[in-house]
Amino acid sequence: MARAALLPVALLLCLAMASSADAGRKTVGVYELKNKKGDFSIKVTNWGATLMSVIVPDSNGNSADVVLGYDTVAGFVNGSSYFGALVGRVANRIAKGRFVLDGITYHLYTNDGNNTLHGGLRGFSKVIWTVKEYVPSGDSPYITFYYHSFDGEEGFPGALDVYATYQLSGSYDLRIRMNATALGKAKATPVNLANHAYWNLAGHGSGDVLGHQVRVRASRYTPVDDESMIPTGEVAGVAGTPYDLRRLTPLGSRVGLVSAGGAAGFDVNYAVEGDGFRPVAYVREPVSGRAFELWADQPGVQLYTGNWLRNEKGKAGAVYRQHGALCLETQGFPDAVNHPNFPSVIVRPGGVYKHHMLFKFSSPEQRSVL
């Protein structure tokens, strides 16, 4: 009796050790999460807390990888498009790499003309994160990454402890939870994290996304100066403009009508309706039948249609071209540090930043009735 009871305990211990064997490591690795049915999985790497692949079935149950990327981590290290990356300390642009906080002027590395983009030269997407926890399978497999950002990193004030968790749950839900705690007692800092996945629901190498239908729950957006790509400060209505995506709209009917920084397509921040954790956008690819609804608790979402992709060599020999994917980056407003009328992205010492995203992919059964 005692022996029989001991055996399963020993077995459980072994399993627990195997699944957490990589926890605490700071070498670069690739980690997979898979649902019980085996038809929904992702791969991530602790290089930049990057989402490398997302495999989901279509309406006939056929699987495809629906995010752009590279076969190996080396590809992501070399790449310059932020495929799947977790960007920070401050995602999006900061005008002239400069802001004033509590009377002090901070200067950041400018890596986008005269502006700072996605955290500077070596933002959170270009550092090695620590794997804190890794549960690859079961009902809700997950992985948690941790990064300590030091006071002054890329010019930002104050040290920060950052966590990012990727988790599968339900039938086809992919959740990303981020948090960041401002350490020390003296310095406040801006924090604005974003996941920069490039989606193509027909499959990552299937061509352009102009046939994708998109709905964004926003009646306002933040127009930018077309040359500098910096918000003018206005929060304008979408009604009567090609930015109005309140009804499900094929991207192909709009990409020729909008442009940013001289390239055709969307690269725009929407002020999402409401607050708290709520639906933000819906994307559907009619041929495969794949769709997702995106939920998040952030004030904005940047819609980008891969306007600058030019013959980028990606996974499995695929070549990614202009409009080969779309990004929906939930986040604070761009350049919020320089626009007092935008929702604040400042975290006070001891304060905690939180960001919760949920991609609810429709199941094959749901798709057939859409």
Ligand X SMILES: *[C@@H]1O[C@H](CO)[C@@H](O)[C@H](O)[C@H]1NC(C)=O
Q: Choosing from 118, 153, 154, 196, which is the catalytic residue?
A: 196
**Residue placing its CB nearer to ligand X in the complex, 130 or 249:** 130
Q: Does 111 bind ligand X (CB under 6 A)?
A: no
Do the Cβ atoms of 63 and 204 come closer than 8 Å? no
Q: How far is the CB of 113 from ligand X (least distance, A)?
A: 3
Interface pattern 273-312 for ligand X (x via CB under 6 A): ----------------------------------------
**Closest among 83, 58, 39 to 365, alpha carbons compared:** 58
Is 93 known as a binding-site position? Answer: yes
Q: Which of 35, 41, 50, 144 binds ligand X (CB under 6 A)?
A: 144
d(CA 86, CA 331): 12
Is 271 known as a binding-site position? Answer: no
**Closest among 16, 28, 78, 54 to 360, alpha carbons compared:** 54
**Residue placing its CB nearer to ligand X in the complex, 78 or 341:** 78
**Per the structure block, which two tokens stand in for 210?**
């102009």
Give the C-alpha distances (Å, rounded to integers) separating 250 from 201, 210, 254, 269, 286: 13, 7, 7, 18, 10
**H/E run at residue 361:** strand 352-361
**Residue placing its CB nearer to ligand X in the complex, 176 or 216:** 176
Q: How far is the CB of 18 from ligand X (least distance, A)?
A: 21
Sequence-distant (≥ 6) Cβ neighbours of residue 180 within 8 angstroms: 88, 89, 160, 161, 162, 163, 191, 193, 347, 352, 353
Q: Does 181 bind ligand X (CB under 6 A)?
A: yes
Q: Does 105 bind ligand X (CB under 6 A)?
A: no
Is 267 known as a binding-site position? Answer: yes
Do the Cβ atoms of 272 and 339 come closer than 8 Å? no
Q: How far is the CB of 368 from ligand X (least distance, A)?
A: 36
**Residue placing its CB nearer to ligand X in the complex, 14 or 310:** 310
Q: How far is the CB of 367 from ligand X (least distance, A)?
A: 32
Q: How far is the CB of 244 from ligand X (least distance, A)?
A: 30
d(CA 218, CA 332): 14
Q: Is 329 labeled as catalytic in the residue annotation? A: yes
Q: Choosing from 154, 285, 329, 339, which is the catalytic residue?
A: 329
How many Cα atoms occupy the beta-carbon half-sphere of 150 within 13 Å?
A: 5
d(CA 336, CA 239): 23
Q: Does 53 bind ligand X (CB under 6 A)?
A: no
**Per the structure block, which two tokens stand in for 161?**
């402890």
Q: Which of 165, 192, 195, 213 binds ligand X (CB under 6 A)?
A: 165
Q: Does 169 bind ligand X (CB under 6 A)?
A: no
Dihedral (CA of 353, 158, 130, 67) sign: positive
Q: Which of 63, 111, 169, 179 binds ligand X (CB under 6 A)?
A: 179
Give the C-alpha distances (Å, rounded to integers) separating 258 from 226, 255, 265, 266: 11, 6, 5, 6
- At residue 16, the 3 state secondary structure works out as helix
Q: How far is the CB of 31 from ligand X (least distance, A)?
A: 15
Q: Does 75 bind ligand X (CB under 6 A)?
A: yes
Residue 229 φ then ψ, to 5°: 70, 15
**Residue placing its CB nearer to ligand X in the complex, 236 or 263:** 263
Give the nearest residue (CB) to ligand X.
113
The footprint of ligand X on residues 306-365 (CB under 6 A) is: 313, 352
Q: Does 78 bind ligand X (CB under 6 A)?
A: yes
Q: Catalytic residue numbers? A: 196, 329
Q: Give the binding site for ligand X (CB under 6 A).
A: 75, 78, 113-114, 144, 163, 165, 179, 181, 313, 352
